[in-house]
């Protein structure tokens, strides 16, 4: 499982506000899915936002971005990290 740092912004009107500058995006090889984690952990130790917990749930980073956009969030990933993730070159 490989992880890369990323940022989560909340979109409101024409502005974006930083929500979390310590997010993680990656690819879980055994689960064959991209995943995203953001936010402080709850009482049980889980991130507040955790996408990609089911087998083959997200086959692309774009699918994760679309899921976040439904809740007015914008994901920002370093271009180099995105390319590595998309090619599964770990």
14: pLDDT strictly greater than 80 = no
Q: Tokens representing 81?
A: 């990290």
90: pLDDT strictly greater than 80 = no
Question: Averaged over 68-75, what is the pLDDT?
Answer: 92
Portion of the chain with pLDDT greater than 70, in percent: 88
**Which pLDDT score is estimated for 43?**
67
Average pLDDT of the chain, as a whole number: 88
């Amino acid at each position: 499982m490989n992880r890369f740092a990323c940022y989560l912004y909340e979109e409101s009107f024409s502005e974006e506000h930083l929500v979390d500058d310590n997010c993680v995006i990656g690819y879980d090889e055994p689960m064959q899915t991209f995943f995203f984690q953001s936010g402080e952990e709850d009482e049980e130790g889980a991130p507040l936002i955790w996408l990609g917990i089911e087998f083959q749930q997200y086959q692309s980073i774009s699918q994760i971005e679309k899921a976040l956009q439904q809740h007015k969030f914008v994901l920002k990933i370093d271009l180099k990290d995105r390319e590595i993730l998309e090619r599964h070159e770990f």
